[in-house]
């Protein structure tokens, strides 16, 4: 992969970088203290320190220039130098992009109203700042994030593309198709063209001059009214992207063999905007996961917070998504208007006791009071208050304890900048606080995130296969997992054995693989890493076990909701392309 740096020239500092690299390779344990000692010996421009990303770029420059020194394997050097390794410890490189500001179909009282952002996001959040910097251009956002990850030592061969921005389903279809197509273009171009600044879109320029937020307690003009006014005053601020389905299909086809492949695509929407037709379109876009805002499973709490739908809509949306094989990532909010700590714990229990719910992943977002939310008026009149640290800690402990081992708690607190929070909790490490509290109680969390091996090395002989079974509204769900004696999770597969008639004709006779995930630090395509879970054959073994169980349950076909970048992998395992899924005949699978 070509060197990507436009503000730093490794050639200018070749002597210093060469000396630093050789000493870094020679030292036994390269911790921060050892690195600092080396950097002090070779200051940048006689006074400053080289950053880790600059050292990694220097290594790649020296390697490509064919210098006389023995640099060894790049993967080993980058492993020693890697910054924030947790970002790819789950086996993929996450790339998050945001859609532009657009009217929202909801009127939730707890939702921020920063009119320079898509609804519910704040311009001070890191991901939102990156999006604004690139004028919400999907190509520029994707390319920039890839460049950052690559320059700090991460492999970006396998990318999970996460599209945020409120209610995806409410944007014009032409914009949605164009947005995903341009993200795929950025993935496909990353290894073949320099990631120089791309042409700016005029779209969303007009929002820079708008007052950044409305007053939630004294609403003169609501979020949607401000956005619509901007559109009237400057029609060019509307979502302007247009792309045909054939153009998107061509970009997807190219990505199947691209050095940077999309191995997962996540979209977010509201339960009341999910229909069979919407789900079919999401599959055509290449989506494999949907983020869905539950917020609450109490109709009275939903009504008081003006959510705009009831629990029945959430249950219906879950059924439609699960029938189509999607991975489902739910959002749930304690401390909403009208709730209480006890009521929240009861509400959380419904998530996993109700067969129509039971998401695969979950974000717990305790309600935070921001000035632009209508909740401000309820705070001022005393009808809502934030939980105390003790109350919130108890709720989170009870919720984490009740999360089953087949669900992943992706987040436990939303990372809202403390300067944006009017009152209440401003701590972002509440997951660690709650885990410590549970340890003091002699309890442990068993969700996926707390058990995954991360970047640790594992041996195949230390792993064994387990099957956890539970029911959904569609039938049986089997969570196949490879774990060690300490219950550390190295790989898993989600297998659905439906007992209801699927809403999609293509799946009428199929058992369904909804997800295969192998943990361990991301290993680049074509590379092997001793002890890396990604190359122990665990994925293939899980798929064969899924085939065996599909036959045992009486199915003649096994479908997989594959991502664009994994299609070739499944073809190599005997799967054939269908219209929206890939299929393998079970009668001949042995």
Per the model's pLDDT, the better-predicted residue between 524 and 447 turns out to be 447
Q: Where are the alpha helices (DSSP H) in 354-429?
A: 375-380, 389-401
Q: Contacts from 240-244 at CB under 8 Å and sequence distance 24+? A: 240/175, 240/201, 240/202, 240/203, 241/138, 241/174, 241/175, 241/178, 241/179, 241/182, 241/201, 241/203, 242/174, 242/175, 242/178, 243/174, 243/177, 243/178, 243/181, 243/182, 244/177
From the CB of residue 524, how many other CB atoms can be counted at a distance below 10 Å? 18
pLDDT of 8 higher than 60? yes
- pLDDT tens digits, 185-244: 999 999 754 444 444 444 455 676 676 556 666 665 688 888 888 888 888 788 877 889
Q: What is the mean pLDDT of residues 52-80?
A: 66
Per the model's pLDDT, the better-predicted residue between 119 and 340 turns out to be 340
496 three-state secondary structure: strand
Average pLDDT value for the chain: 86
Residues in the chain: 590
pLDDT of 512 higher than 80? yes
- What are the phi and psi torsion angles at 81 (to 5°)? -95, -10
The arrangement of strands across the sheet holding 158-164 comes to 93-98, 158-164, 261-269, 289-295, 327-332, 361-364, 408-411
Q: Rounded to a whole number, what is the largest CA-CA distance in the chain?
A: 73
Helix (H) or strand (E) holding 202: none
Report the percentage of the chain scoring pLDDT > 70.
85
Highest averaged pLDDT of the listed ranges 32-41, 415-424, 442-451, 533-542: 442-451
pLDDT of 479 higher than 90? yes
Q: What is the mean pLDDT of residues 401-410?
A: 97
DSSP letters, 513-542, are: EEEEEE-SS---TT---TT-GGGTTHHHHH
Q: What is the mean pLDDT of residues 499-518?
A: 93
Residue 11: per-residue pLDDT: 79
Q: Name the region of 151 (left: φ>0; alpha: ψ -120 to 50; beta: rest).
A: alpha
Per the model's pLDDT, the better-predicted residue between 241 and 269 turns out to be 269
- pLDDT tens digits, 431-445: 999 999 999 999 999
Q: Grade residue 67 by pLDDT with cuts at 50, 70 and 90.
A: low
Q: How far apart are CA 421 and CA 257, in angstroms?
A: 45
Residue 73: per-residue pLDDT: 61
- pLDDT tens digits, 459-473: 899 999 999 999 999
- pLDDT tens digits, 327-337: 999 999 999 99
pLDDT of 123 higher than 90? no
Residue 68: per-residue pLDDT: 43
Per the model's pLDDT, the better-predicted residue between 62 and 383 turns out to be 383
The answer to whether the beta carbons of residues 285 and 584 sit under 8 Å apart is no
Buried b / exposed e along 195-219 (16+ C-beta atoms within 10 A): beebeebebbebbeebeebbebbee
Question: pTM of the entire structure?
Answer: 0.84
Q: Is the dihedral of CA 12, 18, 19, 23 positive or negative?
A: positive
């Amino acid at each position: 992969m070509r060197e990507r740096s436009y503000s730093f020239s490794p050639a200018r500092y070749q002597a210093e970088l060469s000396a630093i690299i050789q000493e870094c390779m020679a030292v036994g344990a390269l911790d921060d203290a050892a690195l600092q000692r080396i950097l002090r010996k070779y200051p940048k421009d006689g006074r400053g320190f080289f950053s880790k990303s600059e050292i990694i770029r220097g290594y790649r420059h020296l390697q490509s220039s064919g210098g006389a020194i023995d640099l060894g394997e790049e993967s080993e050097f980058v492993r020693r130098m890697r910054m924030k390794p947790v970002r790819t410890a789950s086996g993929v490189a996450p790339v998050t992009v945001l859609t532009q500001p657009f009217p929202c179909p909801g009127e939730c009282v707890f939702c921020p109203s920063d009119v320079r952002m898509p609804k519910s996001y704040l311009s001070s959040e890191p991901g939102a700042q990156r999006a604004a910097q690139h004028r919400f251009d999907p190509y520029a956002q994707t390319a920039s994030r890839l460049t950052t990850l690559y320059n700090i030592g991460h492999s970006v061969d396998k990318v999970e593309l996460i599209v945020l921005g409120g209610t995806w389903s409410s944007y014009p279809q032409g914009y949605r198709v164009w947005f995903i197509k341009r993200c795929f273009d950025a993935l496909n171009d990353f290894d073949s063209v320099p990631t120089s600044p791309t042409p700016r879109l005029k779209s969303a320029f007009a929002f820079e001059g708008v007052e950044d937020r409305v007053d939630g307690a004294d609403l003169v003009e609501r979020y949607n009214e401000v956005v619509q006014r901007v559109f009237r005053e400057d029609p060019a601020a509307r979502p302007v992207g247009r792309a045909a389905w054939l153009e998107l299909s061509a970009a997807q086809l190219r990505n199947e063999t691209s050095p940077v492949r999309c191995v997962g695509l996540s979209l977010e929407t509201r339960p009341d905007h999910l229909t069979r037709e919407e789900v079919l379109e999401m599959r055509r876009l290449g989506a494999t996961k949907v983020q869905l805002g539950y917020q609450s499973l109490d109709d009275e709490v939903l009504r008081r917070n003006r959510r705009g739908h009831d629990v029945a809509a959430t249950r219906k949306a879950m059924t439609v998504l699960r029938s189509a094989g999607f991975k489902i990532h739910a959002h749930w909010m304690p401390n909403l208007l009208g709730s209480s700590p006890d009521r929240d714990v009861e509400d959380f229990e419904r998530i996993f006791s109700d067969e129509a719910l039971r998401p695969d992943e979950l974000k717990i977002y305790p309600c935070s009071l921001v000035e632009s939310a209508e909740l401000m008026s309820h705070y001022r009149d005393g009808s809502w208050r934030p939980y105390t640290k003790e109350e919130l800690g108890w709720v989170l402990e009870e919720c984490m304890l009740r999360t089953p081992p087949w669900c992943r708690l992706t987040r436990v607190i939303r990372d809202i900048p403390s300067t944006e929070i009017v009152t209440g909790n401003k701590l972002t490490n509440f997951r660690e606080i709650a885990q410590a509290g549970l340890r003091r109680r002699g309890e442990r969390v068993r969700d996926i995130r707390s058990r995954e091996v991360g970047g640790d090395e594992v041996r195949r002989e230390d792993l064994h296969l387990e099957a956890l079974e539970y029911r959904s509204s569609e039938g049986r769900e089997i969570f196949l997992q490879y774990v060690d004696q300490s219950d550390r999770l190295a790989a898993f597969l989600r297998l659905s054995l439906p007992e209801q008639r699927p809403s999609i004709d293509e799946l009428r006779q199929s058992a369904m693989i909804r997800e295969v995930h192998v943990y361990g630090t991301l290993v680049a395509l074509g590379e092997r890493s001793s002890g890396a879970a990604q190359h122990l054959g665990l994925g293939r073994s899980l798929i064969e076990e899924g085939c065996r169980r599909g036959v045992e349950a009486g199915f003649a076909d096994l479908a997989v909701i594959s991502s664009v970048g994994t299609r070739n992998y499944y073809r190599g395992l005997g799967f054939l392309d269908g219209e929206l899924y890939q299929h393998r005949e079970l009668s001949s699978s042995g």
